[in-house]
Amino acid sequence: MKRVALALSLALSSALVLAGPPAPKAAGIESKDYQWAKMEGELKEALAKKGDVKRGQETYEICGACHLPSGAGRPDGTFPQLAGQHTTVLIKQMADIRMGLRDNPTMYPFAKEMTDPQDLADTSAYIESLCIPTDHGKYEGADAAAQIAKGKGLYEKQCLECHGKNGEGKKDKFYPVIAGQHYKYLLRQMTEIRDGHRRNANPDMVKVIKPYTNDQLVAISAYQSSLSMPGSMCKPKAGKKK
């Protein structure tokens, strides 16, 4: 509870966040010795823990300030949609940010407060239990139908094997759920991975995405943001058309 209180105070004071120590810098994909999803340290410890959803609801409160209580994130892509994400993916990303393998100065001050692997497991278990919002940021251009059709072809050719027909990912492989994710967030992350700025990226994905043009990434992101996972999406609100 003390960790949550301290982290919450950081959320309420941007000045305090900026005054905090900088994130560490671990060697990432730019290093020849880089190993993706290396099973050691707190990543290994947290993955071995059984997450407590009820306790995770409490530890998630700090996350809800940016990612919203529903886990929906922001449609403009500044904060990703988290609800329904695999615990393995969530734990890995938080552990990577904490050790400085993934550069995220906005989230680091909060992630660094979760020093107990059990906190990582509990918070991730709660997030995974949330239904995936149906209302999220999508591609809104006049050519949306054409972009989605183009993106579908590209996705099914090289992305489907890892991320699944409905964007469900693979929990045991650390491949994230992308169904319900915001278009602008997807586009930004894929661009950063392609351009070598996402230092904790999966080398296999880098190889796949490296040849893609900006226009192709727009199309793939447009299609990915249109995906939904049967049985995992939130139910439509009463009186609202599907």
The reported pTM is 0.90
- For residue 241, the model assigns a pLDDT of 53
- For residue 2, the model assigns a pLDDT of 43
Express each pLDDT in 119-130 by its tens digit.
Answer: 999 999 999 999
Q: How many other C-beta atoms lie within 10 A of the C-beta of residue 91?
A: 25
- For residue 162, the model assigns a pLDDT of 97
- For residue 21, the model assigns a pLDDT of 75
- For residue 238, the model assigns a pLDDT of 67
Place of tokens 């919203």: 68
Express each pLDDT in 62-110 by its tens digit.
Answer: 999 999 999 999 999 999 999 999 999 999 999 999 999 999 999 999 9
Q: Which two tokens stand for residue 102?
A: 């993934």
| Structural domains for the chain | 2-129 (1.10.760.10), 144-224 (1.10.760.10)
